[in-house]
Amino acid sequence: MSEHELQTLAVGRIVRPHGVRGELVVEVLTDSPELRFAPGSVLGMQRRGVVRAQNLTVTAARQHAGRLLVRAEGVEGRDAAEELRGVLLTVSSDVLEPIDDPDEFHDHELIGLRVERVSGEEVGEVREVLHTPAGELLSVRTTDGREVLVPFVAEIVPEVGLAAGRLVVDPPEGLLEAE
């Protein structure tokens, strides 16, 4: 992938409808919700790797019980909101601000990294970053063609080297082995 090719980054996940007028309960996956969910913001929609043709335009957003309630153009009523359950809301990587924290990464920075064990043995390549209620998972395509999900936590992924194009894993026994 060329350096100039645009990627998408998840900024929220639609958890469920709220009320009967089409409001969406959104789990925020960005450090800048006030920018990403400002009225007029246009967000892409993606469901487990499948990009939907239409976008979602935010008309209003407010905090509620630790999550965000979002109103969007064209989402009228509970049924319309229910159809969007589980959809990831995304932005293009060209609109992202740099991250100051050296232990945080944008999804597009991780995709394509070579995955190695602490011993240096090659495991595979990061194909996707999945945002789940339990935390982020790295979808890794192994050298033998399998997909394994690796929890993106410091205990299992102790090193990420963007410049070197690799990340190091120290998996618990059985995580990477074929069944």
Q: Which domains does the chain have, with CATH numbers?
A: 8-95 (2.40.30.60), 107-169 (2.30.30.240)
Please state, in angstroms and rounded to a whole number, the distance separating the CA atoms of residues 12 and 25. 10
Position 34 scores a pLDDT of 86
Please state, in angstroms and rounded to a whole number, the distance separating the CA atoms of residues 24 and 170. 38
Residues of the chain with pLDDT under 50: 1-6, 101
User: Six-digit token pair at 174?
Assistant: 């059985």
Position 91 scores a pLDDT of 82
Position 6 scores a pLDDT of 47
For residue 8, the number of C-alpha atoms closer than 13 Å in the C-beta half-sphere is 21
Q: Which of 158, 179, 161 minimizes the C-alpha distance to 171? A: 158
Share of the chain above pLDDT 90, in %: 47
Please state, in angstroms and rounded to a whole number, the distance separating the CA atoms of residues 24 and 21. 9
Please state, in angstroms and rounded to a whole number, the distance separating the CA atoms of residues 100 and 165. 19
- pTM above the 0.85 mark? no
User: Six-digit token pair at 41?
Assistant: 């913001």
Position 5 scores a pLDDT of 44
Position 136 scores a pLDDT of 85
Place of tokens 């359950």: 85
| Residue range 71-81, pLDDT digits in tens | 999 999 999 99
Position 155 scores a pLDDT of 92
Contact at 8 Å (CB) between 68 and 61? yes
